[in-house]
Amino acid sequence: MAGEIVDNNGRGEAAWHWPSIHPEGRKFALIAAAASAVCAFLAWETLAWPLGALVLCILAFFRDPQRVTPQSDRAIVSPADGLVTLIQQVPPPRELSVDDGSGAVALGTESVTRVSIFMSVFDVHINRAPIGGTVRRVVYIPGKFLNADLDKASEENERQHLLIDRGDGLLIGFTQIAGLIARRIVPFVKPGDILAAGQRVGLIRFGSRVDVYLPQGTSPKVLLGQKVIAGETILAEIGEQRLLEGVIQ
């Protein structure tokens, strides 16, 4: 049940259930279902069956499962489902690092650790807030549709930057990046909105990527090539720096 408190001592309840479908995807599923029904009525089976399969694919893509978000002042949770494909030291995006004239806080220009999460078409594409706080910036940038797995996608692709201020000096910026197939970034939030950690903030239609900018003095707790889950996987703990090594097997 949404909002229920669970813990690592067994408090709460857990059961598998079918994930809901986000409303953004229902209209596409209805269109494909209607087209499939028309083709079936006209005995165009070579079109009816593929369109029927397309309905299932659309429903799977826009699935919106519940997630259990760790409640910790130190935790930065993953904003996206997918594969960690890049971990680099980079300057924050200009849109999040400089004064935009509104008086809103900014990340600054010193290099920080960027964790890039690639979402394939098989991943859940609902993105979530990495920390709780107030949305200070939402900046949309039109651009290209290069493969989101490429490093230069951060600078050249269509993207949307978000900045969350926890109110105690902690700022977390992250960027939704459209990919080779993705053609629209759909925001659920606007500047001034107050979010809880793990709350839904938007989605990207079809394969894409999310970049997270960790605060200085904080190292990721995930490894290159690791699979992460939006709203659940702890990407980093604030102020913790240590080398982690993994084995591919």
Catalytic residue positions, numbered: 208
Q: Please give the Cα distance from 42 to 65 (Å, whole number).
A: 36
Pairing of strands 227-228, 63-64: unpaired
Q: How far apart are CA 155 and CA 168, in angstroms?
A: 30
Residues facing residue 98 across a β-bridge: none
Contact indicator for 185, 159 with CB cutoff of 8 Å: yes
Kindly provide the residue ranges of all beta strands, DSSP E only, lying in 120-154, ordered along the sequence.
Answer: 126-128, 133-141
Sign of CA dihedral 29, 26, 175, 248: negative
Contact 67, 14 (CB under 8 A): no
Reduce the DSSP state of residue 166 to 3 states and report it. Answer: coil
The length of the chain in residues reads: 249
